[in-house]
Chains A and B, each alone.
Chain A
Amino acid sequence: MKRKLLVSLIIFFSVISVSFSIEPDVFVQSTVNRASKLLSDGISKDEKIEKLKSIAKETVDIQGIGFYTLGAKRKSLTNDEKKKYSELFEIYFLKSFSSRLAEYTNPEIDVIAKEKLNDNYTIVNSVLKATNERPKINIDWRIYTKNPENPLIRDLIIEGLSLARTQKEEFASVLSSNNDNIDALFNVLKEFSNN
């Protein structure tokens, strides 16, 4: 009887844990469907931007991308500077990300495959369908899966070109042209967000 109970408990908890983990490809498809539905809604561009920001806050690892983008410089920041950077980066990222996406109306994205790199990362492959004005575009998503119940987007790789990597080299350029001064980067981020 005890053994039966134990087996039942094991099955019960394994079912529970399976049902809570989200497959990265399903996560990406449901996220793009949400964004796509929103972009085809007849609401104003400002409303779209606000709703896109809330989707991004839920599905993108903004803090992780921020520290990746900062490169080696992140190791020399004080805790206060890290906190300030994270706040400024989030505002910058959400503005940049949502205004990029808000230009599109009804983008159709199909998830086609996935490749698990390791326990922390899976790459999900998708295709943005062609329109009359542009050819089809391959988009890969780097999904952070350390917590399988809460996968998060860490990078978008468009036709093999990584947005996070581009942003990282852009930030490095801002730092190197300002004697590696983090305050200069803070000012550039503030300026971008205020415009």
Chain B
Amino acid sequence: MHDRPRAATDPERERQAIADAIAEHRALRGATLPILHAIQERLGYVPEAAVAAIAAALNLSRADVHGVRTFYHDFRSAPPGRHVLKVCRAEACQASGCERTIAHLAARHGAALHATTADGRLTVEPIYCLGNCALGPSVQLDGRLHGRATPARIDALLAEAAAEERA
């Protein structure tokens, strides 16, 4: 089940994050991408309300911004889980067993690719090459790179993250 939106969205928080991101980057040449990144950084996703706001600020059409926002898979349209695990599926990682890792995530942790766990703990996303091919399969947990991501290592990483959360 693609149970994407679980963390409640807060329109006021969204509005503020969008306004801040626009204010910070609007003077740049080609500010659309920096603004989209800044919003995602603040909220973890890019709400649809951002489209009209960016369009108005940058003198673009809503369709222009919509096209950019949907072109990059990295921009989420709904809040992710508390942790985001990106699993590399490029050629080298496939050769070193990333599909096994992915299957393990689904079976053991209830976290399918492109989905978030029902408790909102974890989102799993594919990524194509982290530049760590010699140490594949590679993953990125909350922005941090890890090599040799065997099922056992995945369990350890997630347990560590859960412990940190409790602390």
Are these two chains actual partners, yes or no? no
Q: Which residues of A contact B (CB under 8 A)?
A: none
Task: List chain B positions with a Cβ less than 8 A from chain A.
Answer: none
